[in-house]
């Protein structure tokens, strides 16, 4: 598998203390993406030739790194796979998942929810928590980031029917995820599926330098106004809105 980063002692990527593994490869193209170096599946070199994005690891090599923090994985902690879209690597990840469970750590994945179903079917026996993006349900806007809301919604309903633990996260991006139409659809979708909490966050520009190194320009998005937040909470009510800060 090709990994860009293995980050230790993470606290926002699932329960307890976690190690987060960032894998390369994502089928979406969100213009607010803070990890643009994870979009392409292949190893990349920066335009100045000085930096390499991604390194190939075997399951055993990743496990050797992960197990150094074994003592911190008590109280539900463990390993979170992020990216990119980690589910694309499911065949390579399964042997690693088995080793992680053997040391008593939990497995979480951050997923777009929009990979073809057979990938989620393979992952099902191994994943303890899903941190699921809930981005755009308005078809014409979802197309802009290459997302198919129908595939997404069917996958989520299927994961819920399998009693998976799902946490939903929405980046607040004006003109994309944050439109009146989309927030209303998000509310409808969450209510229909009996989801009572949504994590939201404003995007940031920490990834700006990585865009430049890849010869790309990061798009700038403005912050939400007080009125926007009022609209968000009022529309989503009674769903609990939890604000994440990075």
Residue with tokens 């607040």: 172
- Are 150 and 113 contacting, i.e. CB atoms less than 8 angstroms apart? no
Residues contacting ligand SF4: total by CB under 6 A: 11
Q: Which of 84, 86, 149, 207 binds ligand SF4 (CB under 6 A)?
A: 84
Whether the Cβ atoms of residue 201 and residue 169 lie closer than 8 Å to each other:
yes
What is the DSSP annotation of 127-189? -SEEEEE----SHHHHGGGT--HHHHHHHHHHHHHTT--EEEEEEE-BTTTBSHHHHHHHHHH
The stretch among 14-22, 29-37, 189-197, 208-216 that binds ligand SF4 (CB under 6 A) is 29-37
Nearest approach, Cβ of residue 30 and ligand SF4 (Å): 3
Cis previous bond, 84, omega within 30: yes
Closest CB 58 distance from ligand SF4, rounded Å: 23
| Comparison of 95 and 116: residue with beta carbon closer to ligand SF4 | 116
**Beta-carbon count within 10 A of 42 CB:** 9
Among 20, 39, 80, 106, interactor with ligand SF4 by CB under 6 A: 39
Stretch that binds ligand SF4, among 25-33, 60-68, 117-125, 189-197 (CB under 6 A): 25-33
Q: Does 38 bind ligand SF4 (CB under 6 A)?
A: yes
For residue 170 the two structure tokens come to 């929405």
Write down the least CB distance from residue 158 to ligand SF4, Å: 19
| Cβ distance to ligand SF4 smaller for residue 77 or 170 | 170
Sites for ligand SF4 among residues 137-166 (CB under 6 A): none
CB 159 within 8 A of CB 40: no
Helix (H) or strand (E) segment spanning residue 10: strand 2-10
- Judged by beta carbon, residue 17 or residue 87, the one nearer ligand SF4 is 87
Chain residues that interact with ligand SF4, rule: CB under 6 A: 26, 28-30, 33, 35, 38-39, 83-84, 112
């Amino acid at each position: 598998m090709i990994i860009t980063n293995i980050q230790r002692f993470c606290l926002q990527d699932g329960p307890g203390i976690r190690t987060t593994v960032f894998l390369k490869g994502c089928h979406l193209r969100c213009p607010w993406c803070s990890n643009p170096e994870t979009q392409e599946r292949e190893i990349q070199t920066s335009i100045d030739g000085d930096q390499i994005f991604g390194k190939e690891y075997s399951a055993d090599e990743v496990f050797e790194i992960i197990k150094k923090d074994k003592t911190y994985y008590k109280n539900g902690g463990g390993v979170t796979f992020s990216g990119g879209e980690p589910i694309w690597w499911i065949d390579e990840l399964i042997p690693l998942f088995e080793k992680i469970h053997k040391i008593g750590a939990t497995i979480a994945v951050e997923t777009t929810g929009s990979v073809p179903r057979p990938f989620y079917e393979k992952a099902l026996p191994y994943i303890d928590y899903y941190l699921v993006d809930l981005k755009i349900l308005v078809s014409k806007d979802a197309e802009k980031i290459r997302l198919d809301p129908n595939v997404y919604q069917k996958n989520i309903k299927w994961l819920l029917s399998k009693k998976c633990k799902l946490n939903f996260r929405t980046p607040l991006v004006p003109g994309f995820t944050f439109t009146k139409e989309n927030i209303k659809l998000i509310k409808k979708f969450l209510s229909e599926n009996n989801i009572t909490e949504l994590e939201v966050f404003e995007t940031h520009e920490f990834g700006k330098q990585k865009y430049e190194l890849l010869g790309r320009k990061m798009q700038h998005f403005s912050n939400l106004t007080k009125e926007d937040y009022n609209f968000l909470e009022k529309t989503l009510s009674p769903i609990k809105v939890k604000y994440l800060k990075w």
